Amino acid sequence: MELVSDVGWSNFTLAALARNQEIEELELESLFSDKVGLLQAFSEFIDEQTLANLDSDIFDPEIPIRERLLEIMLVRFDVLAPYKDGVCELLKVTGKDPKMFVVAAKAIKISMRSSLETVGVSTRGIKGNIKIKGLAVVFLFGMRTWSKEEGRDITATTRILDDRLKWAESLATSLGMVEENSGHDL
């Protein structure tokens, strides 16, 4: 991500990455078909690190699901923090590149499904897909705010995530998507 922020996505190549990391270009090309494939691997890495950095309270059914989802989102942004400049560079071009847009949409869907399932929310069926998309919207609001915040302070991001999660919870309740057995489920 450091190289992406330095040279920009359009000038970023696997060959440049290989030189930067002092590895064989053929070795890198055997792992990734193209630079967009590298983004898929980066997303998987972020998902793994997010899950690895969660506090055990994330599984506590006594804590409302909205609060646990907020915690997952905050951990995700904490994991992304060292790569912020590169991620922000990618945000600038994702809407302009159809292939990147599709990859990003798929990665967000996988990440949001994982977040919901981690806190015990079903993602099966139509209701599950609606929940995934709703959480993705919350995440994207947070991403937009996070990209504008300076340094490691994410006060505004935390506030927007909390507000949007409350909105999503209210919407889910009004649509009858709250599971009866939990009392507080998205």
Contact 123, 113 (CB under 8 A): yes
Q: What is the mean pLDDT of the chain?
A: 90
Reduced to 3 states (helix: H, G, I; strand: E, B; else coil), residue 48 is helix
Quote the pTM value. 0.89
pLDDT (0 to 100) of residue 30? 87
Contact status, residue 12 vs residue 35, Cβ threshold 8 Å: yes
CATH of the domain at 106: 1.10.357
Whether pLDDT at 52 is above 50? yes
* Residue 67 maps to a domain: yes
Domain that holds residue 142: 35-174
For the residues 128-146, what does the mean pLDDT come to?
96
Whether residue 134 is contained in a domain is answered as yes
Overall domain count for the chain: 1
Q: Identify whether 169 is part of a domain.
A: yes
Distance (Å, whole) CA 111 – CA 138: 12
**26 found inside a domain:** no
Q: Which residue has the higher pLDDT, 27 or 158?
A: 158
- Look at residue 61 and tell me if it is in a domain: yes
**Assigned domain for 8 exists:** no
**17-47 residue pLDDT tens:** 999 888 898 888 888 888 888 888 999 999 9
Residue 133 belongs to some domain of the structure: yes
Q: Which of 90-99, 103-112, 140-149, 160-169 has the lowest mean pLDDT?
A: 90-99
Give residues with Cβ within 8 angstroms of 24, minimum separation 6: 18
140 belongs to a structural domain: yes
